[in-house]
Amino acid sequence: MKYITGKSKPLTGRIRTASDKSISHRALMFGLLNHGKTIIRRLLDADDVSRTMRNCAMLGAKIEHVDDTLFVSGGQIKEPNDILDFGNSGTGARLSIGLLSSRPMVSIVTGDSSLRTRPMKRIIEPLCRMGAAIYSRKDGYLPAAVIGNKLKGIKYVNDIGSAQVKSAIMLAALACEGKTIIEDPKHSRDHTERLLIQSGADINIYGSRIEISGSEIDSKLEIMIPADFSSAAFLIAYALLKKDSDIILKDVGINPTRTGMLNVLKLFGAKIDLMKQTSFGLEPAADIHVAYQKKEMRGAAIPQELVVSAIDEIPIIAAIAASIEGKTVIKGAGELRYKESDRIDLIVKNLTAIGVKCTEYADGFEIEGSEKIKSADIITKFDHRIAMSFIILGSVFETALKVSDIESIKTSYPGFFKNLMLPY
Protein backbone atom coordinates (compact mmCIF):
# COMPACT_ATOMS: atom_id res chain seq x y z
CA MET A 1 0.00 0.00 0.00
CA LYS A 2 1.28 3.50 -0.87
CA TYR A 3 0.64 6.84 0.79
CA ILE A 4 0.95 10.11 -1.14
CA THR A 5 1.87 13.14 0.93
CA GLY A 6 0.39 16.56 0.23
CA LYS A 7 -1.42 19.41 1.99
CA SER A 8 -1.07 19.42 5.76
CA LYS A 9 -2.08 21.50 8.77
CA PRO A 10 -0.17 22.85 11.76
CA LEU A 11 -0.18 20.55 14.77
CA THR A 12 -1.55 22.01 18.00
CA GLY A 13 -2.86 20.88 21.38
CA ARG A 14 -2.05 18.09 23.84
CA ILE A 15 -1.32 14.60 22.50
CA ARG A 16 -0.44 11.25 24.04
CA THR A 17 1.40 9.16 21.47
CA ALA A 18 1.65 5.37 21.34
CA SER A 19 2.96 3.61 24.45
CA ASP A 20 6.60 2.55 24.56
CA LYS A 21 7.21 -0.50 22.38
CA SER A 22 10.51 -1.57 23.96
CA ILE A 23 9.05 -1.54 27.47
CA SER A 24 5.83 -3.24 26.30
CA HIS A 25 7.74 -6.28 24.97
CA ARG A 26 9.78 -6.52 28.15
CA ALA A 27 6.77 -6.08 30.44
CA LEU A 28 5.07 -9.11 28.87
CA MET A 29 8.20 -11.25 29.20
CA PHE A 30 8.59 -10.26 32.84
CA GLY A 31 4.94 -11.20 33.35
CA LEU A 32 5.75 -14.62 31.87
CA LEU A 33 8.78 -15.04 34.17
CA ASN A 34 7.20 -13.68 37.36
CA HIS A 35 5.84 -16.22 39.85
CA GLY A 36 3.88 -13.38 41.43
CA LYS A 37 1.15 -11.25 39.89
CA THR A 38 2.12 -8.74 37.20
CA ILE A 39 -0.06 -5.75 36.38
CA ILE A 40 0.71 -3.91 33.13
CA ARG A 41 -0.97 -0.58 32.40
CA ARG A 42 -1.17 1.06 28.97
CA LEU A 43 0.54 -1.68 26.96
CA LEU A 44 1.17 -0.64 23.36
CA ASP A 45 -1.65 -1.83 21.11
CA ALA A 46 0.32 -2.65 17.96
CA ASP A 47 1.06 -5.75 15.90
CA ASP A 48 4.62 -6.30 17.17
CA VAL A 49 3.50 -6.32 20.80
CA SER A 50 0.38 -8.38 20.08
CA ARG A 51 2.63 -11.12 18.70
CA THR A 52 4.78 -11.09 21.83
CA MET A 53 1.61 -11.31 23.93
CA ARG A 54 0.34 -14.32 21.96
CA ASN A 55 3.72 -16.03 22.23
CA CYS A 56 3.91 -15.43 25.99
CA ALA A 57 0.45 -17.01 26.28
CA MET A 58 1.71 -20.02 24.27
CA LEU A 59 4.58 -20.29 26.76
CA GLY A 60 2.20 -20.48 29.70
CA ALA A 61 1.34 -16.92 30.73
CA LYS A 62 -2.29 -16.39 31.68
CA ILE A 63 -3.32 -12.93 30.54
CA GLU A 64 -6.51 -11.08 31.46
CA HIS A 65 -7.23 -7.81 29.68
CA VAL A 66 -9.46 -5.20 31.41
CA ASP A 67 -9.69 -1.81 29.66
CA ASP A 68 -6.08 -0.51 29.42
CA THR A 69 -4.76 -2.92 32.08
CA LEU A 70 -3.37 -6.45 31.78
CA PHE A 71 -3.22 -8.92 34.66
CA VAL A 72 -0.56 -11.55 33.97
CA SER A 73 0.05 -14.79 35.89
CA GLY A 74 3.33 -16.48 34.98
CA GLY A 75 6.21 -18.40 36.47
CA GLN A 76 5.32 -21.76 34.91
CA ILE A 77 6.93 -21.68 31.48
CA LYS A 78 5.85 -24.59 29.28
CA GLU A 79 6.97 -25.94 25.93
CA PRO A 80 4.99 -24.25 23.13
CA ASN A 81 2.88 -26.49 20.92
CA ASP A 82 3.53 -24.37 17.83
CA ILE A 83 6.16 -22.10 16.27
CA LEU A 84 6.68 -18.75 18.02
CA ASP A 85 6.21 -16.18 15.25
CA PHE A 86 7.32 -12.65 16.19
CA GLY A 87 6.37 -11.01 12.89
CA ASN A 88 8.57 -7.94 12.41
CA SER A 89 9.77 -7.68 16.00
CA GLY A 90 13.51 -8.07 16.49
CA THR A 91 13.08 -7.23 20.17
CA GLY A 92 10.53 -9.99 20.70
CA ALA A 93 12.54 -12.59 18.81
CA ARG A 94 15.98 -11.84 20.27
CA LEU A 95 14.85 -11.47 23.89
CA SER A 96 12.75 -14.62 23.70
CA ILE A 97 15.70 -16.66 22.40
CA GLY A 98 17.69 -15.53 25.44
CA LEU A 99 14.83 -16.36 27.80
CA LEU A 100 14.19 -19.78 26.24
CA SER A 101 17.82 -20.88 25.97
CA SER A 102 17.95 -21.85 29.65
CA ARG A 103 14.55 -23.59 29.80
CA PRO A 104 14.33 -27.43 29.53
CA MET A 105 12.25 -27.61 26.35
CA VAL A 106 12.33 -27.15 22.58
CA SER A 107 11.11 -23.95 20.93
CA ILE A 108 11.19 -22.70 17.36
CA VAL A 109 11.39 -18.92 16.80
CA THR A 110 10.68 -17.19 13.50
CA GLY A 111 9.38 -13.95 12.02
CA ASP A 112 8.23 -12.33 8.81
CA SER A 113 10.31 -12.04 5.63
CA SER A 114 12.03 -8.90 6.92
CA LEU A 115 12.93 -10.32 10.35
CA ARG A 116 14.28 -13.48 8.70
CA THR A 117 16.96 -11.31 7.03
CA ARG A 118 18.12 -9.66 10.27
CA PRO A 119 21.24 -11.00 12.03
CA MET A 120 20.73 -13.31 15.01
CA LYS A 121 24.34 -14.53 15.24
CA ARG A 122 25.07 -11.62 17.55
CA ILE A 123 22.86 -13.21 20.23
CA ILE A 124 23.42 -16.85 19.29
CA GLU A 125 27.20 -16.68 19.78
CA PRO A 126 27.24 -15.36 23.38
CA LEU A 127 24.32 -17.60 24.38
CA CYS A 128 26.14 -20.64 22.99
CA ARG A 129 29.20 -19.59 24.98
CA MET A 130 26.94 -19.91 28.03
CA GLY A 131 26.05 -23.46 26.93
CA ALA A 132 22.89 -22.86 24.91
CA ALA A 133 21.93 -25.15 22.02
CA ILE A 134 20.56 -22.94 19.23
CA TYR A 135 20.27 -24.06 15.61
CA SER A 136 19.51 -21.49 12.93
CA ARG A 137 19.78 -21.04 9.19
CA LYS A 138 23.23 -20.36 7.74
CA ASP A 139 24.94 -17.27 9.18
CA GLY A 140 22.48 -17.10 12.08
CA TYR A 141 19.18 -16.19 10.42
CA LEU A 142 15.71 -17.18 11.60
CA PRO A 143 13.99 -19.58 11.94
CA ALA A 144 15.94 -20.87 14.93
CA ALA A 145 15.41 -23.94 17.09
CA VAL A 146 16.19 -23.34 20.77
CA ILE A 147 16.84 -26.44 22.87
CA GLY A 148 16.93 -25.48 26.54
CA ASN A 149 20.13 -26.26 28.45
CA LYS A 150 21.83 -25.67 31.78
CA LEU A 151 23.82 -22.50 31.26
CA LYS A 152 26.86 -21.01 32.97
CA GLY A 153 27.69 -17.36 33.48
CA ILE A 154 30.13 -15.61 31.15
CA LYS A 155 31.85 -12.27 30.76
CA TYR A 156 30.65 -10.37 27.71
CA VAL A 157 31.59 -6.99 26.24
CA ASN A 158 28.65 -5.35 24.44
CA ASP A 159 30.88 -3.38 22.08
CA ILE A 160 28.20 -3.04 19.38
CA GLY A 161 25.95 -1.21 21.84
CA SER A 162 22.95 -3.49 21.28
CA ALA A 163 20.32 -3.46 24.04
CA GLN A 164 18.71 -6.55 22.49
CA VAL A 165 21.90 -8.60 22.77
CA LYS A 166 22.51 -7.38 26.31
CA SER A 167 18.90 -8.14 27.31
CA ALA A 168 18.93 -11.63 25.78
CA ILE A 169 22.03 -12.48 27.84
CA MET A 170 20.51 -11.05 31.02
CA LEU A 171 17.26 -13.00 30.60
CA ALA A 172 19.27 -16.18 30.04
CA ALA A 173 21.36 -15.37 33.13
CA LEU A 174 18.27 -15.46 35.35
CA ALA A 175 18.27 -19.27 35.10
CA CYS A 176 22.04 -19.62 34.89
CA GLU A 177 24.68 -21.16 37.15
CA GLY A 178 27.15 -18.61 38.46
CA LYS A 179 27.51 -14.89 37.74
CA THR A 180 27.21 -13.25 34.34
CA ILE A 181 29.13 -10.01 33.82
CA ILE A 182 28.33 -7.63 30.97
CA GLU A 183 30.40 -4.61 30.08
CA ASP A 184 28.27 -2.05 28.22
CA PRO A 185 30.68 0.79 27.31
CA LYS A 186 28.20 2.48 24.96
CA HIS A 187 25.42 2.52 27.59
CA SER A 188 22.71 1.04 25.36
CA ARG A 189 19.09 1.40 26.47
CA ASP A 190 18.56 -0.02 29.94
CA HIS A 191 14.85 -0.89 30.22
CA THR A 192 15.66 -4.53 31.02
CA GLU A 193 18.01 -3.57 33.85
CA ARG A 194 15.39 -1.25 35.35
CA LEU A 195 12.75 -3.99 35.25
CA LEU A 196 15.17 -6.50 36.77
CA ILE A 197 15.84 -4.10 39.65
CA GLN A 198 12.12 -3.37 40.06
CA SER A 199 11.31 -7.10 40.15
CA GLY A 200 13.93 -7.90 42.80
CA ALA A 201 16.33 -9.92 40.63
CA ASP A 202 19.94 -10.45 41.75
CA ILE A 203 21.50 -7.66 39.68
CA ASN A 204 24.14 -5.06 40.47
CA ILE A 205 25.25 -2.21 38.22
CA TYR A 206 28.54 -0.36 38.55
CA GLY A 207 28.76 2.28 35.83
CA SER A 208 28.98 0.35 32.54
CA ARG A 209 29.41 -3.01 34.33
CA ILE A 210 26.38 -5.23 34.95
CA GLU A 211 26.55 -8.29 37.22
CA ILE A 212 23.62 -10.69 37.31
CA SER A 213 23.23 -14.06 39.05
CA GLY A 214 20.61 -16.74 38.70
CA SER A 215 17.41 -15.82 40.53
CA GLU A 216 13.68 -16.34 40.15
CA ILE A 217 11.35 -13.39 39.90
CA ASP A 218 8.61 -13.63 42.51
CA SER A 219 7.12 -10.26 43.32
CA LYS A 220 4.05 -8.12 42.95
CA LEU A 221 5.11 -6.27 39.84
CA GLU A 222 3.24 -3.25 38.51
CA ILE A 223 4.47 -1.76 35.24
CA MET A 224 3.05 1.54 33.98
CA ILE A 225 4.23 2.14 30.43
CA PRO A 226 5.00 5.72 29.37
CA ALA A 227 4.44 7.12 25.90
CA ASP A 228 7.12 6.04 23.43
CA PHE A 229 9.86 8.60 22.83
CA SER A 230 10.58 7.07 19.41
CA SER A 231 6.95 7.68 18.41
CA ALA A 232 6.95 11.16 19.95
CA ALA A 233 10.03 11.96 17.86
CA PHE A 234 7.93 12.09 14.68
CA LEU A 235 5.53 14.62 16.20
CA ILE A 236 8.43 16.64 17.60
CA ALA A 237 9.94 16.80 14.11
CA TYR A 238 6.64 17.79 12.51
CA ALA A 239 5.99 20.53 15.06
CA LEU A 240 9.51 21.95 14.64
CA LEU A 241 9.18 22.09 10.86
CA LYS A 242 5.49 22.96 10.27
CA LYS A 243 4.68 26.66 10.64
CA ASP A 244 2.27 27.60 13.47
CA SER A 245 2.59 24.21 15.20
CA ASP A 246 2.64 24.19 19.02
CA ILE A 247 2.12 20.93 20.96
CA ILE A 248 2.49 19.28 24.35
CA LEU A 249 3.21 15.55 24.24
CA LYS A 250 1.95 13.81 27.37
CA ASP A 251 3.72 11.25 29.60
CA VAL A 252 6.68 10.64 27.27
CA GLY A 253 9.44 8.34 28.52
CA ILE A 254 12.69 10.32 28.86
CA ASN A 255 15.05 7.49 29.81
CA PRO A 256 18.49 9.04 29.10
CA THR A 257 19.56 5.94 27.14
CA ARG A 258 16.74 6.73 24.67
CA THR A 259 16.64 10.50 24.30
CA GLY A 260 19.82 11.35 22.44
CA MET A 261 17.63 13.06 19.84
CA LEU A 262 16.89 15.86 22.32
CA ASN A 263 20.62 16.62 22.50
CA VAL A 264 20.87 16.45 18.70
CA LEU A 265 18.03 18.97 18.42
CA LYS A 266 19.85 21.29 20.83
CA LEU A 267 22.87 21.14 18.49
CA PHE A 268 20.49 22.11 15.66
CA GLY A 269 19.40 25.13 17.73
CA ALA A 270 15.95 23.89 18.74
CA LYS A 271 14.47 24.57 22.18
CA ILE A 272 12.49 21.70 23.69
CA ASP A 273 10.85 22.07 27.11
CA LEU A 274 10.44 19.13 29.50
CA MET A 275 7.50 19.78 31.85
CA LYS A 276 5.94 17.92 34.80
CA GLN A 277 8.82 15.47 35.12
CA THR A 278 7.83 12.30 36.97
CA SER A 279 8.50 8.55 36.89
CA PHE A 280 6.58 5.45 35.88
CA GLY A 281 8.13 2.85 38.16
CA LEU A 282 11.86 3.27 37.53
CA GLU A 283 11.32 4.95 34.14
CA PRO A 284 11.51 8.77 34.03
CA ALA A 285 8.81 10.57 32.06
CA ALA A 286 7.71 14.12 31.26
CA ASP A 287 5.41 16.24 29.15
CA ILE A 288 7.31 17.65 26.16
CA HIS A 289 6.50 21.10 24.77
CA VAL A 290 7.66 21.85 21.24
CA ALA A 291 6.73 24.54 18.69
CA TYR A 292 7.72 25.64 15.18
CA GLN A 293 11.39 26.67 15.01
CA LYS A 294 12.61 25.71 11.54
CA LYS A 295 14.07 29.15 10.75
CA GLU A 296 16.22 29.15 13.90
CA MET A 297 17.69 25.69 13.25
CA ARG A 298 20.95 24.81 11.48
CA GLY A 299 22.62 21.52 10.59
CA ALA A 300 25.49 20.22 12.72
CA ALA A 301 28.04 17.43 13.08
CA ILE A 302 26.59 14.91 15.54
CA PRO A 303 29.06 13.56 18.13
CA GLN A 304 29.28 9.77 17.98
CA GLU A 305 28.53 9.44 21.71
CA LEU A 306 24.97 10.67 21.00
CA VAL A 307 24.32 8.12 18.28
CA VAL A 308 23.61 5.05 20.47
CA SER A 309 20.90 6.85 22.45
CA ALA A 310 19.39 8.24 19.24
CA ILE A 311 19.79 5.19 17.01
CA ASP A 312 16.08 4.60 16.34
CA GLU A 313 15.53 8.31 15.69
CA ILE A 314 18.26 8.69 13.04
CA PRO A 315 15.76 8.42 10.13
CA ILE A 316 13.62 11.29 11.45
CA ILE A 317 16.75 13.26 12.40
CA ALA A 318 17.81 12.84 8.76
CA ALA A 319 14.43 14.22 7.65
CA ILE A 320 14.91 17.25 9.90
CA ALA A 321 18.46 17.73 8.59
CA ALA A 322 17.14 17.71 5.02
CA SER A 323 14.68 20.50 5.91
CA ILE A 324 16.95 23.00 7.67
CA GLU A 325 19.84 25.17 6.57
CA GLY A 326 23.38 23.84 6.68
CA LYS A 327 25.20 20.53 6.69
CA THR A 328 24.57 17.61 9.06
CA VAL A 329 27.09 14.78 9.49
CA ILE A 330 26.27 11.52 11.29
CA LYS A 331 28.90 8.80 11.76
CA GLY A 332 29.26 5.86 14.12
CA ALA A 333 25.78 4.65 13.16
CA GLY A 334 26.75 1.39 11.43
CA GLU A 335 24.13 -0.46 13.50
CA LEU A 336 21.51 1.16 11.23
CA ARG A 337 22.47 -1.29 8.50
CA TYR A 338 21.04 -4.16 10.61
CA LYS A 339 17.62 -2.75 11.52
CA GLU A 340 14.35 -3.56 9.71
CA SER A 341 16.20 -2.43 6.60
CA ASP A 342 19.63 -1.03 5.77
CA ARG A 343 18.51 2.38 6.97
CA ILE A 344 21.67 4.20 5.88
CA ASP A 345 21.18 2.97 2.31
CA LEU A 346 17.46 3.87 2.22
CA ILE A 347 17.92 7.30 3.81
CA VAL A 348 20.58 8.27 1.25
CA LYS A 349 18.77 6.80 -1.77
CA ASN A 350 15.43 8.37 -0.89
CA LEU A 351 16.89 11.79 -0.03
CA THR A 352 18.81 11.77 -3.32
CA ALA A 353 15.60 10.88 -5.17
CA ILE A 354 13.82 13.96 -3.78
CA GLY A 355 16.70 16.28 -4.64
CA VAL A 356 18.51 16.56 -1.31
CA LYS A 357 22.30 16.47 -1.52
CA CYS A 358 23.77 13.71 0.63
CA THR A 359 26.81 11.47 0.84
CA GLU A 360 26.81 7.90 2.14
CA TYR A 361 29.49 6.56 4.49
CA ALA A 362 29.98 3.03 5.78
CA ASP A 363 28.64 4.08 9.19
CA GLY A 364 26.51 7.13 8.41
CA PHE A 365 25.94 10.00 5.99
CA GLU A 366 26.23 13.72 5.32
CA ILE A 367 23.16 15.80 4.42
CA GLU A 368 22.95 19.31 2.99
CA GLY A 369 19.65 20.96 3.95
CA SER A 370 17.30 22.03 1.15
CA GLU A 371 14.65 24.74 0.77
CA LYS A 372 12.52 22.50 -1.41
CA ILE A 373 12.16 18.88 -2.46
CA LYS A 374 10.75 17.21 -5.54
CA SER A 375 8.18 14.47 -5.95
CA ALA A 376 9.48 10.92 -6.01
CA ASP A 377 8.69 7.31 -5.15
CA ILE A 378 9.98 6.51 -1.65
CA ILE A 379 11.23 2.96 -1.09
CA THR A 380 10.76 1.71 2.48
CA LYS A 381 11.26 -2.07 2.23
CA PHE A 382 8.57 -2.41 4.92
CA ASP A 383 10.60 -0.34 7.41
CA HIS A 384 8.13 1.64 9.53
CA ARG A 385 10.61 4.33 10.61
CA ILE A 386 11.69 5.04 7.03
CA ALA A 387 8.01 5.26 6.00
CA MET A 388 7.04 7.64 8.82
CA SER A 389 10.11 9.84 8.36
CA PHE A 390 9.42 10.46 4.68
CA ILE A 391 5.70 11.00 5.32
CA ILE A 392 6.72 13.74 7.77
CA LEU A 393 9.14 15.20 5.22
CA GLY A 394 6.62 15.19 2.36
CA SER A 395 3.88 16.62 4.58
CA VAL A 396 5.86 19.59 5.93
CA PHE A 397 7.03 20.46 2.39
CA GLU A 398 3.53 19.68 1.03
CA THR A 399 5.16 17.76 -1.80
CA ALA A 400 3.82 14.56 -3.33
CA LEU A 401 6.03 11.74 -2.09
CA LYS A 402 4.70 8.27 -2.88
CA VAL A 403 5.69 6.28 0.20
CA SER A 404 5.54 2.50 -0.25
CA ASP A 405 4.53 -0.29 2.13
CA ILE A 406 2.97 1.95 4.79
CA GLU A 407 1.22 -1.03 6.40
CA SER A 408 4.50 -1.51 8.27
CA ILE A 409 3.56 1.52 10.42
CA LYS A 410 0.95 -0.59 12.22
CA THR A 411 3.71 -2.68 13.79
CA SER A 412 4.75 0.15 16.11
CA TYR A 413 2.55 3.25 15.80
CA PRO A 414 -1.01 2.52 14.60
CA GLY A 415 -2.20 6.02 15.62
CA PHE A 416 0.43 7.81 13.54
CA PHE A 417 -1.88 9.41 10.97
CA LYS A 418 -4.54 10.31 13.55
CA ASN A 419 -2.02 11.99 15.88
CA LEU A 420 -0.64 14.04 12.98
CA MET A 421 -4.14 14.84 11.65
CA LEU A 422 -3.07 13.57 8.23
CA PRO A 423 -5.66 12.13 5.81
CA TYR A 424 -5.56 8.34 5.60
- Clarify whether residues 179 and 306 are in a common domain: no
Examine the domain organization and report whether 159 and 203 are in the same domain.
yes
pLDDT at 424 over 90: no
Domain total of the chain: 2
Are 290 and 239 a contacting pair, CB within 8 Å?
A: yes
pLDDT, one tens digit per residue, over 38-49 is 999 999 999 999
9/415 Cα distance (integer angstroms): 17
All residues at 6 or more sequence positions from 313 whose CB lies less than 8 Å from its CB, including other chains: 230, 233, 260, 261, 264
Query: Among 180, 197, 224, which residue terminates a domain?
Result: 224
Indicate if 55 and 139 belong to the same structural domain.
yes
237-272: pLDDT as tens digits: 999 999 999 999 999 999 999 999 999 999 999 999
Distance of alpha carbon 20 from alpha carbon 177, whole angstroms: 32
User: Would you state the pLDDT for residue 277?
Assistant: 97
Same domain for 214 and 243?
no
SS3 for the chain is CCEECCCCCCCEEEECCCECHHHHHHHHHHHHHCCCEEEEECCCCCHHHHHHHHHHHHCCCEEEEECCEEEEECCCCCCCCCCEECCCCHHHHHHHHHHHCCCCCEEEEECCCCHHHCCCHHHHHHHHHCCCEEEEEHHHEEEEEEECCCEECCEEECCCCCHHHHHHHHHHHCCEECEEEEECCCCCCCHHHHHHHHCCCCEEEECCEEEEECCCCCCCEEEECCECHHHHHHHHHHHHHCCCCEEEEEEEECCCCCCHHHHHHHHHCCCCEEEEEEEECCEEEEEEEEECCHHHCECCEECHHHCHHHHHHHHHHHHHHHHCECEEEECCCHHHHHCCCCHHHHHHHHHHHCCCEEEEECCEEEEECCCCCCCEEECCCCCHHHHHHHHHHHHHHCCCEEECCHHHHHHCCCCHHHHHCCCC
What pLDDT digit, counting tens, does each position of 192-238 carry? 999 999 999 999 999 999 999 999 999 999 999 999 999 999 999 99
Final residue in a domain of this structure, among 172, 197, 224: 224
| Strand-pair category, 364-368 with 357-361 | antiparallel
Indicate if 252 and 150 belong to the same structural domain: no
Same domain, 124 and 266: no
Residue 268 shares a structural domain with residue 401? yes
CB 251 within 8 A of CB 224: no
pLDDT at residue 131, as a whole number? 97
Is the domain of 320 the same as that of 358?
yes
Same domain, 205 and 249: no
Range of the domain at 401: 3-19+226-420
Average of per-residue pLDDT values in the chain: 96
Question: Does residue 312 have an active-site annotation?
Answer: yes
Instruction: Give pLDDT tens digits for 115-139.
Output: 999 989 999 999 999 999 999 999 8
In the set 228, 312, 383, 405, the catalytic residue is: 312
pLDDT at position 139: 87
Please tell me whether residues 305 and 336 are part of one structural domain. yes
Last residue of some domain: 183, 209, 224?
A: 224
9 and 86 together in one domain: no
12 and 105, same domain (yes or no)? no
Per-residue pLDDT, 247: 98
Q: What is the number of alpha carbons within 13 Å of residue 415 lying toward its C-beta?
A: 13
187: domain CATH number is 3.65.10.10
Handedness of CA 261, 263, 265, 268 (dihedral sign): negative
Q: String of b and e for 361-394 (b: at least 16 CB within 10 Å)? A: eebbbbbbbbeebeebebbbbbbbbbbbbbbbbb
Cβ contact 409:415 at 8 Å: no
